[in-house]
Amino acid sequence: MIDENGEQLGILPTEDALARARTAGLDLIEVSPTAQPPVCKIADYGRLKYEQSKKDKDARKKQRHFELKEVKLRPKIETHDYETKARMAERLLLDGSKIKVTIMFRGREITYTSFGRRLLDRMAEDMLPLATIEREPRLEGRNMFMILAPRATPTGPPKFSHKLEETTSA
């Protein structure tokens, strides 16, 4: 039993504990029902719920919400197009989003899944300073995909974004 000031009162019968709570004008709250004997506290239940909701709200505010964005590629992608998609992926990672890199196979392209795998490995290697591989490349139906999550602290500069800035400032 814990009183309203936070002092331990020891083990009390339930009736005595309820009587003390009523004389104080407060509630008897069971804090730890699984303990032997159960731990109860004399407090204002409404205030306790209010403080708990404040704590929960604050915890949710500090949580980081990851959005999953998608970058789609084809197995026969040209170098410039790949770099454009990689720049987009870098920007999304720097914004704090997870990215799903998808390779879409059409028609007979499905027989060349090794090209898609190499392309995903290349993307993972290019994004290594900014991201970690959350899900390895996997083939589902006619699409092969992998998921990259942003690193908390990047280990190096982006590979493609800084090239764009250099060419526009020159």
The domain spans of the chain are 14-59, 68-169
Cβ neighbourhood burial of 111 (10 Å; 0-12, 13-18, 19+) = exposed
37 half-sphere exposure, CB direction, 13 A CA radius: 9
Enter the pTM of the model.
0.58
What mean pLDDT is reported for the chain?
86
Residue 162 has a pLDDT of 62
Task: Summarize the confidence of residues 137-162 as an average pLDDT.
Answer: 86
Angle between helices 79-94 and 161-169 (to 10 degrees): 100
Task: Summarize the confidence of residues 13-42 as an average pLDDT.
Answer: 87
Specify the CATH number of the domain 68-169: 3.30.110.10
- Homologous superfamily (CATH) of 14-59 is Translation initiation factor 3 (IF-3), N-terminal domain (3.10.20.80)
Position 161 pLDDT exceeds 80 = no
Sheet of strand 131-140, all strands in order from the earlier edge strand to the far edge = 68-73, 98-104, 143-150, 131-140
Task: Summarize the confidence of residues 47-72 as an average pLDDT.
Answer: 85
Q: Quote the CA–CA distance of 165 and 35 in Å, as a whole number.
A: 62
